[in-house]
């Protein structure tokens, strides 16, 4: 598949310079067709029957395999969730931390991570998103590092594996802006969240949680999928592997859409996304104050980000502002072409 | 709308005697069309823009209002969830119970309730699903009654309001088999879960949680929707009302589908469903051992439920077995007609 053929998968790119996969990826025609086909079957054949349930379970298994392959994990380490927030909540609830425990995080995390940290009851220590500052904040009370692999603000990358190794503290990695955007290796990471709807271009409310050692995390939010047998008291025998953390039903249609989206990714996706992001930085550098970053998010400073975002929107260029930061953010994917970037530059 | 016109909304009823709303309701053509329309818009226009987000938020507000109206609650008391399991987990995590606390439940609850009870760490006391037995199990340590309003096994109704009043213990009511099936009044109930995909005939992964007093339950599983402002530590100012418990993103398409499904319900829905269920019992009584029950689930004993369910499936009659109980269950809705019941009887 050539870059131009790949691009033609996404109808939204026909009309817009869509540079916002950091929020939602573009949807491919085939992805929506997969969802549609299943919905039509549900409508006409009903949502029941052995074949129906077997297909749904099979798609869960396929989803585990596809996402595991993407990050170098085992399928048994993958829980199929609805979002990265879901994943963060599952981990924090299961760790049973208390007020005497500390979590080290950064001052530039998304609420999807911060909310669960706060809800855990542990003391949250937020430091500058810098490897030295993070390592220096670790104390004997630190039970978890909770870090984005790529910051949603500036796109800066954090050396999560190295920090895990250096500090010896378990790490929860928010992969919302890394998985699907840059090569990610789950090896050495205790917990890794994945978003299906951003860089993987999947349907809404899809995602995953990779748990290196499922046996060692308590199932704090059980669903029917968590168990293979239970007592009247609710005490249960957990399902094998990370499937025990699956937080609930996901329609066969949604799973089919996610699988199609992942299967459509060309092998040159990472290389091309990196090249496009570098090109975006290069084109923007003479025009605006681009902040340093090493992934597929390109952020730059502006006096009035909401006004600029609205003005670019009028010009058919989709970027977003990051409230409270003075930053505007453009997301470059493997589908981004020179014309998209030219439109951004022209509109600026 | 006449019963026959209402029935024609559901294509699956053209081919099957679909008696399984207790698992998944039939989908109406208009419900799927609403989902499809939004999906197409997401495909072509992208999932972004002020209008896009405002529409999504507006649909959340409409969903709260529609479901509140159905159970006599205020919209501010309704959290939009993905399932009844979601609702149970949100409540149990937020109550912060421990090993010294007790929860009284019944021996016929679904794992979607039991799992969260167990995960809470409290002692779970399961008694026969009988009002006297439930009241008798309450001790000074009892912090919660956790009860189905209609048992998913036999369809028996439990007097949840009366038990709340009599014992003075807060009650979590699993409304999976009641809301949409029989008239339900949330008044006097501390927590009530709603399924969108069963008796309301909505899309997969839809539901709600009614919280009588949102200020008094801790937000244990925060999502971006939970807050209207937050600190670096994750400490946050909660959103108004039960919206603070909203566990995550739900696509505008899914919300549109649920709203369409709820709007399609005729005003005679409850009356007709009750009449159809009574008729089903009447027709089955001479043939099989029907167990007592007072709602829209009709359960009967059989020597080999899985074999019977498979045989009925071959005959185009969709019912389910209830593993471990020796029961087969038929769900009768306002869309069920005489022909559906005649097919069930003939196949038996």
| CB of B45 less than 8 A from some CB of A | yes
Name the burial class of residue B114, with classes exposed (0-12), middle (13-18) and buried (19+) by CB atoms within 10 angstroms of its CB. Answer: buried
The pLDDT value recorded for residue A294 is: 86
pTM of the model: 0.97
Residue B270 pLDDT exceeds 90: yes
- CB proximity A230 to B under 8 Å: yes
Query: Residue B216: pLDDT above 90?
Result: yes
Report chain B residues whose CB lies below 8 A from the CB of A23: 47-48
B85 and A CB contact within 8 Å: yes
Residues of chain A falling short of pLDDT 50: none
A20 to chain B, any CB pair closer than 8 A? The answer is yes
Helix (H) or strand (E) holding A256: helix A252-264
Mutate to test the interface with B, among A47, A95, A104, A340 (most CBs of B within 10 A): A47
Specify whether the CB–CB gap between A195 and A261 falls below 8 A.
no
Q: In a mutagenesis test of the A interface, which of B97, B124, B204 is the best target, namely the one with the most A β-carbons within 10 Å?
A: B204
CA distance B145 to chain A (A): 13
* pLDDT tens for each residue of A106-158: 999 999 999 999 999 999 999 999 999 999 999 999 999 999 999 999 999 99
Contact B313 A39 (CB under 8 A): no
Determine the pLDDT at residue A173.
98
Phi–psi pair at B148, nearest 5 degrees: -75, 140
Indicate if the pLDDT at residue B320 is higher than 90.
yes
Considering only CB atoms, A46 lies closest to which of B16, B48, B197, namely B16
Query: Is B325 an 8 Å CB contact of chain A?
Result: no
Distance in Å, alpha carbon of B26 to nearest chain A alpha carbon: 6
Q: Looking at CA atoms only, how far is residue B206 from chain A in angstroms?
A: 10
Q: How far is B249 from chain A (nearest CA, A)?
A: 6
Query: Is the CB of residue A26 less than 8 Å from the CB of residue A12?
Result: yes
Instruction: Give pLDDT, residue A110.
Output: 97
What is the average pLDDT score of chain B?
Answer: 97
Distance CA A114, CA A105 (A): 8
Residues in B closer than 8 angstroms to A220, CB to CB, are 93, 119
> Which chain A residues touch B203 with a CB distance below 8 Å?
251
Q: Is B49 left (phi over 0), alpha (psi -120 to 50) or beta?
A: left
Residues 289-308 of B with CB under 8 A from A: none
Q: What pLDDT is attached to residue B190?
A: 98
Partner-chain contact B111 A248, CB within 8 Å: no
**8 Å CB contact of B43 and A12:** yes
B151 neighbors A271 (Cβ within 8 angstroms):
no
Cα distances from B207 to residues A320, B79, B87, in angstroms, run 31, 9, 8
Contact residues, chain A, for B45 at CB < 8 Å: 12, 15-16
Question: What residues of B are in contact with residue A47 (Cβ under 8 Å)?
Answer: 23-24, 27, 197, 204
Query: How far is the alpha carbon of B258 from chain A, nearest alpha carbon, in Å?
Result: 14
Q: Rounded to whole angstroms, how far apart are CA atoms B109 and B126?
A: 9
Burial of B286 per CB tally in 10 Å (0-12, 13-18, 19+) = exposed
How far apart are the CA of A56 and the nearest CA of chain B, in angstroms? Answer: 12
Residue A205 to residue B251, Cβ atoms within 8 A: yes
Cβ distance of B249 and A204 shorter than 8 Å: yes
Condensed to tens digits (0 to 9), the pLDDT of residues B19-28 reads: 999 999 999 9
Q: Give which of A162, A94, A111, A150 is closest to B234, Cα–Cα.
A: A111
pLDDT of residue B294 exceeding 90:
no
Q: Closest by alpha carbon to A29, among B39, B251, B323, B285?
A: B39
Rounded average pLDDT over B204-212: 98
The B residues from 47 to 66 touching A (CB cutoff 8 Å) are 47-50
**What is the pLDDT, as a whole number, of residue B136?**
98
Q: Identify all chain B residues contacting A26, using CB atoms and an 8 Å cutoff.
A: 46
Q: Which residues of A touch B112 (CB under 8 A)?
A: 223-224
| Cβ pair B115:A230 closer than 8 A | yes
What is the percent of chain B where pLDDT is above 90? Answer: 98
A233 touches chain B (CB under 8 A): yes
Domains of chain B: 3-28+266-347 (3.90.1150.10), 72-248 (3.40.640.10)
B116 touches chain A (CB under 8 A): yes
Give the dihedral sign, CA B162/B163/B167/B171.
negative
Q: pLDDT tens, B121-133? A: 999 999 999 999 9
pLDDT value at position B69? 98
């Amino acid at each position: 598949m050539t870059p131009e053929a790949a691009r033609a998968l996404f109808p939204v790119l026909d009309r817009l310079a869509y540079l916002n996969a950091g929020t939602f990826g573009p949807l491919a025609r085939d992805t929506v067709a997969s969802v549609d086909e299943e919905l039509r079957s549900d409508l006409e054949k009903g949502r029941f029957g052995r074949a129906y349930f077997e297909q749904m379970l099979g798609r869960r298994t396929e989803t585990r395999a596809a996402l595991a392959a993407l990050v170098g994990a085992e399928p048994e380490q993958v829980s199929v969730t609805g979002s990265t927030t879901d994943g963060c909540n599952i981990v924090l609830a299961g760790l049973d931390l208390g007020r005497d425990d500390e979590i080290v995080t950064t001052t530039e995390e998304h609420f999807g991570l911060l909310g669960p940290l706060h809800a855990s009851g542990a003391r949250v220590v937020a430091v500058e998103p810098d490897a030295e500052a993070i390592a220096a904040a670790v104390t004997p009370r630190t039970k978890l590092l909770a870090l984005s692999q790529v910051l949603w603000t500036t796109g800066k990358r954090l050396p999560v594996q190295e920090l895990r190794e250096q500090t010896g503290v378990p790490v929860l990695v928010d992969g919302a802006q890394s998985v699907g955007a840059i090569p990610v290796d789950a090896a050495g990471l205790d917990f890794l969240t994945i978003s299906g709807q951003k860089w993987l271009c999947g349907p809404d409310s899809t995602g995953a949680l990779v748990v290196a050692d499922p046996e060692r995390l308590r199932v704090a939010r059980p669903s029917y999928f968590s168990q293979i047998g239970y007592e009247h008291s609710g005490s249960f025998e957990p399902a094998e592997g990370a499937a025990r953390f699956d937080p609930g039903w996901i329609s066969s249609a949604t799973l089919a859409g996610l699988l199609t989206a992942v299967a459509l990714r060309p092998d040159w996706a990472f290389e091309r996304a990196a090249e496009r992001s570098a090109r975006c930085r290069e084109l923007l550098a003479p025009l605006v104050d681009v902040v340093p970053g090493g992934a597929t998010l390109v952020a730059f400073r502006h006096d009035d980000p909401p006004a600029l975002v609205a003005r670019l929107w009028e010009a058919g260029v989709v970027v977003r502002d990051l409230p409270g930061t003075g930053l505007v953010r453009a997301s470059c994917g493997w589908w981004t072409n020179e014309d998209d970037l030219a439109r951004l530059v022209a509109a600026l």
